[in-house]
Amino acid sequence: MEIILGIDLGTTNSVVSILRDGQVEVLAEDGQKILPSVVGLGPNKELLVGFPAQNQWTLAPDRTVRSIKRKMGSDETVRLGEQTYTPQEISAILLRTLKERAARQLGEEIRKAVITVPAFFNEQQREATREAGELAGLEVVRIINEPTAASLTYNPSPDRLERLLVYDLGGGTFDVSIVQIEQGVVEVLSSHGDTQLGGDDFDQLLLDHVCDRFQEEHGVDLRATLTSKSRVLKAVEEAKRQLSFEAFVAVELEFVAEKAGVPLHLKREISRPEYEPLIEPLINKTLVCVDEALSDAKLTAKQIDRVVLVGGASRTPLVHQLLQEQLGQPIHAEVDPDLCVSMGAAIQGGLIVGLDVGPVLVDITPHTLGVQCLGDLHGYRSSYCCAPVIERNTALPASRSEVFYTAQDGQKAAMVEVFQGEDRDVRHNEHVGGFHLEGLAETKQGNEILVRFDLDLDGILTVTATEKLTGLEKTLTIENAMSRFRGEHQEAARTRLEAAFAGDRQAAGPLSAEVPSAESSPTSEVLPPELAGAVGRANELMSKAEELLPGANEQDAGEMRDLIGRLRRAIETRAQAEMESALAELDELVFYMQDAV
């Protein structure tokens, strides 16, 4: 069987994959699937490639070359010690390292490769990439576009035309492409991007944020000396990565600076709500490109079948959230965004030699796992809110944490109830387990409780709740957390829950998703069981009505808004008869509207 290497020759990192027995395999060495695209000369002039070269970058920038991809196709050369090299030569060193890795893993030399390039690369840049491959001793059987490769990992349907939006946010660049797949033929319809925007800019913003606060506190600018700046930069980059999975992180650096002979240490906690406003304007810039790419392809968001994420920085939760809001559909990031381009190149290699290519297998959570909390449910405060912690389609194993707040002054216990399902209302989801974290400190409402979910490949979920103030902690392990959700169980779960809520769970206060404001009333809103059913139906109907509002004519929309208002007031005042009557009227209107739209 002929093997063709699939190579993602990236600006920051490079990856090599192969297709074996119909399955894609990313080739790792020493446990590392990624090869940093960095080449250097060590202190004894020995050639360093990948991590060793990356590690010496801050100490010896004159002997280290990064981001060579940006220079491909140009006449610029780079210096490495006393020698100058063309971009093709530096790229060839990276490609040869990957080729040798494959030979060691497979026990034979592989000479053929498919190499990926950005969709916006011009002919010269593509030609330079091909040359680099040849210098590395590879026969480049095809150069393919990165978004094309990424699309191939998403098991396109063989008999349907599909359109994908590939959002690629790397370290230094951003690209968005609209890709069309029909009967195995992949075509890039449009591409937009910003060659100066990426995860490295997020690092810069976080660096400034941390350094500004440090300067306010100590009167010392950590950016003024190269060593302290590079230490802080490294620490904030790591913090940024963690913030994709954790609610807050600690940035700690000892002896980071000195003032009048006294050593200064950096110790700062950064929360996701503190970090996200810093990067939101940059993410909004990418969304403008998304709009442009759609309009160039003469498509609307509704005509996109899938949204695919590529590039390390696309793991940022705010990217998922804003993109999902803008496009109005779920985002697919099941295949590792760092690896999917190389995997797609290997699939392309398999297709070229006529191999059967099976679907890319990934272990994912089929349903969202979240906790019950007090929050906003269809416009009113309810303790039946489901706050997602691990979203559906997340690749396994997965660890995520979110911060919640106690809802009442002096709250002694917090209930941590875990649910599985996609509904914002826990009563429509499956209860998979829970516990009370008891013995909380005597404080005002807003006491921070960190809830952490660790879900392993066998579906075992470990839930840990920690009171941040004291470190008080409780853990629960739930076996088979992923296989419990069954349609027929939903009704039973709902009944069980309603009964439970009417009972002794009121003893422990619920968690709240929002930080309570000083004026907000610290109530835990628990509905009597006879009202709960009607409220559930009202919620469903109101959200359906809200979906229909944009397409409704003025008169219907006005009527619908009135009825939604009546329903909300009825829920607030617990007026069951009024609720039932408004519900019946809205039901009729929604029925009529659905037919009309």
| Residues 6 or more apart in contact with residue 74 via CB below 8 angstroms | 87
286 forms part of the interface with ligand AMP (CB under 6 A): no
Q: Site for ligand AMP (CB under 6 A): how many residues? A: 19
β-pair partners for 114? 6, 142
Long-range Cβ contact pairs of 285-288 (< 8 A, separation 24 or more):
285/194, 285/197, 286/167, 286/169, 286/174, 286/176, 286/194, 286/197, 286/319, 287/322, 287/323, 287/326
Number of Cα atoms under 13 Å in the Cβ half of residue 197: 21
Q: Choose the binding region for ligand AMP from 76-84, 195-203, 479-487, 571-579 (rule: CB under 6 A).
A: 195-203
Rounded least distance, CB 249 to ligand AMP, Å = 11
Q: Which of 63, 126, 192, 240 binds ligand AMP (CB under 6 A)?
A: 240
Tokens linked to 237: 């980059």
Rounded least distance, CB 341 to ligand AMP, Å = 9
Q: Which of 311, 375, 434, 509 binds ligand AMP (CB under 6 A)?
A: 311
Written as one letter, the residue type at 284 is N
199 forms part of the interface with ligand AMP (CB under 6 A): yes
Beta strand 112-117 with 5-9: parallel, antiparallel or unpaired? parallel
Provide the sign of the torsion angle of the four alpha carbons 7, 128, 94, 101, taken in this order: positive
194 forms part of the interface with ligand AMP (CB under 6 A): no
Q: Which of 11, 190, 394, 408 binds ligand AMP (CB under 6 A)?
A: 11
Between 173 and 429, name the residue whose CB sits nearer to ligand AMP: 173
Between 198 and 536, name the residue whose CB sits nearer to ligand AMP: 198
116 forms part of the interface with ligand AMP (CB under 6 A): no
Q: Which of 7, 12, 264, 408 binds ligand AMP (CB under 6 A)?
A: 12
Rounded least distance, CB 318 to ligand AMP, Å = 10
Rounded least distance, CB 38 to ligand AMP, Å = 12
The b-or-e profile of 456-478 (16+ CB within 10 A means b, else e) is: eeebebebbbbbeeeeeebeeeb
200 forms part of the interface with ligand AMP (CB under 6 A): yes
Q: Which of 237, 246, 336, 423 binds ligand AMP (CB under 6 A)?
A: 237
Between 28 and 500, name the residue whose CB sits nearer to ligand AMP: 28
Among candidate residues 36, 176, 204, 45, the one with its CA nearest the CA of residue 118: 176
325, with CB counted inside 10 A (0-12, 13-18, 19+), is exposed
Rounded least distance, CB 69 to ligand AMP, Å = 10
55, 191, 339 from 14: Cα distances, Å: 16, 22, 9
Between 113 and 169, name the residue whose CB sits nearer to ligand AMP: 169
Task: Let me know: does 529 contact 501? Beta carbons within 8 Å.
Answer: yes
β-pair partners for 180? 163, 187
Task: Let me know: does 360 contact 150? Beta carbons within 8 Å.
Answer: no
Q: Choose the binding region for ligand AMP from 133-141, 238-246, 267-275, 405-413 (rule: CB under 6 A).
A: 238-246
Q: Which of 3, 4, 5, 13 binds ligand AMP (CB under 6 A)?
A: 13
10 forms part of the interface with ligand AMP (CB under 6 A): yes
State the binding string over 317-356 for ligand AMP (x if CB under 6 A, else -): ---------------------x------------------
Q: Which of 170, 344, 370, 434 binds ligand AMP (CB under 6 A)?
A: 170
Q: Which of 147, 312, 370, 388 binds ligand AMP (CB under 6 A)?
A: 312
Among candidate residues 387, 391, 415, the one with its CA nearest the CA of residue 403: 387
Rounded least distance, CB 91 to ligand AMP, Å = 15
- Which residues 447-486 are close enough to bind ligand AMP by CB under 6 A? none
Task: Let me know: does 424 contact 448? Beta carbons within 8 Å.
Answer: no
315 forms part of the interface with ligand AMP (CB under 6 A): yes
Centre a 10 Å sphere on the Cβ of residue 303 and count the other Cβ atoms it contains.
12
Beta strand 112-117 with 139-145: parallel, antiparallel or unpaired? parallel
Task: For residues 242 and 68, give the distance between their C-alpha atoms in angstroms, rounded to a whole number.
Answer: 27
Binding site for ligand AMP (CB under 6 A): 10-13, 170-171, 198-200, 237, 240-241, 244, 311-313, 315-316, 338
